Amino acid sequence: MKVIPVPCLSDNYAYVLIDDQARQVAIVDPVEPQKVLPVVEQTGMKLKAILTTHHHADHAGGNAQLASVLPELEIYGGDKRIPHMTKQLNDEDEFMFGTLSIRAIKTLGHTTSSISYFVQDKQSGEAVAFTGDTLFVGGCGRLFEGTPQEMHTSLNLKLARLPKDTRVYAGHEYTRANLKFALTVDGSNQALKAKAERCATQQCTMPSTIAEELETNPFMRVDQPALQKATGQTDPVQVLAAVRKMKDNF
- Residues with a known catalytic role: 54, 56, 58-59, 110, 133, 172
How far apart are the C-alpha atoms of 216 and 182, rounded to whole Å? 8
Q: SS3 for 165?
A: coil
How far apart are the C-alpha atoms of 179 and 166, rounded to whole Å? 20
Give CA 202 to chain center in angstroms. 18
Task: Give long-range contacts, CB 8 A cutoff, 24+ apart: 116-120.
Answer: 116/53, 116/154, 116/158, 116/159, 117/28, 117/51, 117/53, 118/162, 118/166, 119/1, 119/17
How far apart are the C-alpha atoms of 242 and 206, rounded to whole Å? 26
Please, where are the H alpha helices in the chain?
33-43, 57-60, 63-69, 148-152, 175-185, 190-199, 210-216, 225-231, 236-248
